Amino acid sequence: MQSNGAILVLSGPSGAGKSTVIERAAPHIGAFYFSISTTTRQPRAGELHGREYYFVDKARFEAGIEAGEFLEYAEVHGNYYGTSLAPVKEALEAGKLVIFDIDVQGHRLVRERLGEIVTSVFITPPSIGVLEARLRARGSDDEQTIAKRLQNAAEEITALEEYDFVIVNDDIDAATNAFIAVANASRYRPSYEKRAAFREQWLHN
Amino acid sequence: MQSNGAILVLSGPSGAGKSTVIERAAPHIGAFYFSISTTTRQPRAGELHGREYYFVDKARFEAGIEAGEFLEYAEVHGNYYGTSLAPVKEALEAGKLVIFDIDVQGHRLVRERLGEIVTSVFITPPSIGVLEARLRARGSDDEQTIAKRLQNAAEEITALEEYDFVIVNDDIDAATNAFIAVANASRYRPSYEKRAAFREQWLHN
Tens digit of pLDDT for each residue in A23-51?
A: 999 999 999 999 999 999 999 888 899 88
Chain A residues close to B165, C-beta within 8 Å: 185, 188-189
Residue ranges of domains in chain B, CATH in brackets: 1-31+96-205 (3.40.50.300), 36-94 (3.30.63.10)
pLDDT given for residue B195 in this prediction? 93
C-alpha A68: how far from its chain's center?
20
- Give kind and range of the element (H or E) at residue A123: strand A118-124
The whole-chain average pLDDT of chain A stands at 92
Cα–Cα distance measured from residue A107 to residue A186, given in angstroms and rounded to the nearest whole number? 15
Is the model's pLDDT at B44 over the cut of 90? no
Distance from CA of A55 to the nearest CA of B (A): 35
Contact A100, A66 (CB under 8 A): no
The average pLDDT across B99-108 equals 92
The average pLDDT across A61-87 equals 92
Instruction: State the count of interchain CB pairs (< 8 A) between A and B.
Output: 111
pLDDT given for residue B107 in this prediction? 93
Is the model's pLDDT at B164 over the cut of 90? yes
Cα–Cα distance measured from residue A7 to residue A188, given in angstroms and rounded to the nearest whole number? 11
Contact A122, A160 (CB under 8 A): yes
Is the CB of B165 less than 8 angstroms away from the CB of A188? Answer: yes
* Residue type (1 letter), A150: L
- Residue in chain A closest to B164 (alpha carbons) equals A189
Q: What is the ipTM of this complex?
A: 0.88
Strand A32-34 to strand A97-101: parallel, antiparallel, or no bridges (unpaired)? parallel
The average pLDDT across A94-112 equals 92
Chain B residues close to A201, C-beta within 8 Å: 127
The average pLDDT across B71-94 equals 91
Chain B residues close to A192, C-beta within 8 Å: 161
A116 confidence band (pLDDT: 50, 70, 90) = confident
Cβ of A192 under 8 Å from any chain B Cβ? yes
Cβ of A164 under 8 Å from any chain B Cβ? yes
Cβ of B155 under 8 Å from any chain A Cβ? no
Instruction: Give the tens place of pLDDT for each residue, A141-159.
Output: 889 989 988 999 999 999 9
Contact A97, A2 (CB under 8 A): no
pLDDT given for residue B181 in this prediction? 97
Distance from CA of B178 to the nearest CA of A (A): 6
Cα–Cα distance measured from residue A150 to residue A138, given in angstroms and rounded to the nearest whole number? 14
Helices (H), chain B: 18-25, 58-66, 85-93, 104-114, 128-138, 143-156, 172-185, 192-203
The average pLDDT across A12-18 equals 89
Cα–Cα distance measured from residue B101 to residue B7, given in angstroms and rounded to the nearest whole number? 11
The average pLDDT across B125-139 equals 91
* Residue type (1 letter), B168: V
Is the CB of A166 less than 8 angstroms away from the CB of B189? Answer: yes
Q: Out of A135-139, A163-167, B173-177, pick the least confident.
A: A135-139
Is the CB of A205 less than 8 angstroms away from the CB of B174? Answer: no
B3 confidence band (pLDDT: 50, 70, 90) = low
The average pLDDT across B122-132 equals 95
The average pLDDT across B175-189 equals 96
A76 confidence band (pLDDT: 50, 70, 90) = confident
**The most confident of A106-110, B41-45, B184-188, by mean pLDDT:** B184-188
pLDDT given for residue A173 in this prediction? 96
Partner residue facing A188 (CB), from B129, B157, B178:
B178
What order of strands is seen across the sheet that includes strand B38-39? B54-55, B38-39, B79-84, B70-76
Cα–Cα distance measured from residue B205 to residue B157, given in angstroms and rounded to the nearest whole number? 48
Cβ of A143 under 8 Å from any chain B Cβ? no
pLDDT given for residue B1 in this prediction? 60
Is the CB of B166 less than 8 angstroms away from the CB of A154? Answer: no
Higher pLDDT: B3 or A111? It is A111
C-alpha B186: how far from its chain's center?
13
Instruction: Please give the DSSP secondary-structure letter assigned to residue A127.
Output: -
Q: How many percent of chain B have pLDDT more than 90? A: 73
